[in-house]
Amino acid sequence: MNILAIESSCDDTAAAVVRDGRTVLSSCVSSQIEMHSIYGGVVPEIASRKHVEAVSGLADKAVSDAGLTKADLDAVAVTYAPGLIGAVLVGVNFAKGAALALDLPLIPVHHVRGHIAANYITHPDLEPPFVCLCVSGGTTAIVDVRSYTSMAVLGSTRDDAAGECFDKVARVLGIGYPGGGPMDRLAQGGDDQAYPLPVAHVSGAELDMSFSGLKTASLNLIHNAQQKGEALDLPAFAASFGKAVSDSLIPRVMAAARQTGYGKIAVAGGVAANRRIRADLQAACTQSGDRLFLPELCWCGDNAAMIGCQGFFEFQAGHLAGWDLNAYATRDIALG
Ligand code: KG4
């Protein structure tokens, strides 16, 4: 089954063709980062307009890069939640038009379910049930992936997402947007013990997380150093920050793995590219005996191939949309 997939939930317009949920025939991404970096963050109105300009051409390119014609397509899948509402609406309306014109079924896909499904591309043998740590710019959650389409959140951040925290700290340091990648690179070789930063515990909710305290402590540390005219050891600061994020995430994922007893842990989302988090998880899994599944770096960030993968499993479960499909800024992953 060949699925044309569309993703436009934030600042990447993407189209892909995926066969049978695991084979990526093509994947095209048009990034808007250059445009938004002028403002130090995503400007929703600009994002929506750029999606409108790019989506149609990208979909055509995805079909031709796959070596197919439109007649070879069997369905259209699209991210319908969560995300910037104007941005998601562009993809949803394009997908509706394409499905209607080509007389194909329309499959709605939850963006975070898509991130989880990116693991099926890298690991053909990965099958639910497993526990997945979902960490991106908008989401930080530990998800119980019971089956391809039945999921429940075991724990999540009470405030900021981990990626948002990386981005905010990097912006104040002036090292670029989005900040996770530059912080990760800066941290290489830095002394992670140099700047002790807080790791929050949410009392009564063992698997929940909180990053606002870490963000505030980091920003205060940077501002204090600036006010005193002291130079920060940037690699050491970035390494200390990466350690604090990792120390917030890893013990909770491991606790979720113990709780469920699946023996399989996956990671998903843009922050899943982080070297410290990947290495710490690998070490924790080596110790616990859990099998760890890491997506290839190219499938960590937003892309449409992951939407095509999840779309296949949603289709198999009979989850199809009508022409009244709406877009949602927020939506529980359990609802699909
Ligand atoms: O999944 P994604 O592309 O978009 C969302 O769905 O949010 O994730 C983007 C986030 C940004 O916050 C970015 O700074 C972060 O992923 N990120 C990283 C790394 N690469 C991207 N964070 C930490 N380390 C990285 N290497």
> E-strand spans in the chain?
2-7, 12-19, 23-31, 75-81, 106-110, 130-135, 140-145, 151-156, 264-268, 291-293
pLDDT of residue 159: 97
Complete domains list, the chain, with CATH: 2-115+302-335 (3.30.420.40), 127-298 (3.30.420.40)
242 lines ligand 1 (CB under 6 A): no
Kindly give the distance from the C-alpha atom of residue 68 to the centroid of ligand 1, in angstroms, as a whole number.
32
114 lines ligand 1 (CB under 6 A): no
301 lines ligand 1 (CB under 6 A): yes
Non-local (6+) Cβ contacts of 56 within 8 A are 94
76 lines ligand 1 (CB under 6 A): no
Report how far residue 48's alpha carbon sits from residue 152's, in angstroms, rounded to the nearest whole number: 30
- CA-based nearest residue to 269, from 139, 104, 144, 178: 139
Which of helix, strand or coil describes residue 328?
Answer: coil
The tokens describing 116, both together, are 């989880």
What does the pLDDT look like over 251-273, one tens digit per residue? 999 999 999 999 999 999 999 99
Q: What is the mean pLDDT of residues 38-63?
A: 96
What does the pLDDT look like over 69-111, one tens digit per residue? 999 999 999 999 999 999 999 999 999 999 999 999 999 999 9
The best mutation among 10, 134, 218, 271 to test binding of ligand 1, ranked by most ligand atoms within 8 Å of the C-beta, falls on: 271
Report how far residue 201's alpha carbon sits from residue 205's, in angstroms, rounded to the nearest whole number: 8
What does the pLDDT look like over 108-139, one tens digit per residue? 999 999 999 999 999 999 999 999 999 999 99
| Ligand 1 atom having least distance to the Cα of 163 | 12
Kindly give the distance from the C-alpha atom of residue 1 to the centroid of ligand 1, in angstroms, as a whole number.
30
Which of helix, strand or coil describes residue 295?
Answer: coil
Q: pLDDT band for position 320 (50/70/90)?
A: very high
pLDDT of residue 71: 98
Q: What is the mean pLDDT of residues 290-311?
A: 98
pLDDT of residue 257: 98
pLDDT of residue 40: 84
The tokens describing 280, both together, are 């710490």
Strand partners, 186: none
Non-local (6+) Cβ contacts of 298 within 8 A are none
Q: pLDDT band for position 330 (50/70/90)?
A: very high
pLDDT of residue 248: 98
pLDDT of residue 255: 98
Kindly give the distance from the C-alpha atom of residue 186 to the centroid of ligand 1, in angstroms, as a whole number.
15
What does the pLDDT look like over 183-225, one tens digit per residue? 999 999 999 999 999 999 999 999 999 999 999 999 999 999 9
What Å distances lie between residue 31 and 111, 117, 293, 307, CA to CA?
17, 21, 26, 17
